[in-house]
Amino acid sequence: MRLPIHKEGWPFIALAAVANGAIFALWGQIGWIFLPLSLWVVAFFRDPERHPPPGDHLILSPADGKLLPVTRAAPPAELGLGAGPRIRLSIFMNVFNVHVNRNPATGTITALAYRPGKFFNAAFDKASEDNERLSQGVRLEGSGGAGQELIVVQIAGLIARRIKSNLHKGQTVCRGERFGIIRFGSRLDVYLPDGARVVAQPGQTTRAGETILAELPG
């Protein structure tokens, strides 16, 4: 059975395999103690296929993880979209979740902004304000919410030290497509446009590109 691996993971998998092999060569049976760590590195970078549900009025989860309590908050200031509060959905990814991120909706990337910051536990609300992050604005297309702005923010966590995105300004993205990855353990925030109705429940386990977070009018 084939286990798809994200391309960002191969250097880490190779390093873990070489290190584990060296431990076996030098200390024999002790290598078995470190084998689960090597297998975890492989599992961390797994990249399974996903199948978005039909309906371009649906906002999908951009990440695997746990949906935290729904709040209202101003979007990241570096995007220049004003300080008006919006519904914010936050997904916490632990070190055992799939960490490949997927576009929650179809649209055009209107803004990308990186901001350095701290590395608090990504399960805490203050991580949205203080942690290192990469924010994107997406002008929606399709029958629901066309022309409105959706905001997606990749946020580093306590262990995470690397945010990777393949997006660029002006790019057209499709719902469910891969757009990046965060290593290791982190958080994604989604700021909904006006009129969106949240359908997911806090505490719910989400799957990137498949779980419906919200519905747009129309």
Active site positions, annotated: 186
Map tokens 């992050």 to a residue.
Answer: 133
Are 65 and 205 contacting, i.e. CB atoms less than 8 angstroms apart? yes
Q: At what angle do helices 10-27 and 31-44 cross, to 10 degrees?
A: 170
Alpha helices in 28-82 (DSSP H): 31-44
Report the number of secondary-structure helices (H) and strands (E) in the chain.
3, 15
Max CA-CA distance within the chain?
Answer: 64
Among candidates 192, 187, 184, which has minimal Cα distance to 58? 192
The amino acid sitting at 29 is Q
- How crowded is the C-beta side of 105, counted as CA atoms within 13 Å? 34
- How crowded is the C-beta side of 217, counted as CA atoms within 13 Å? 6
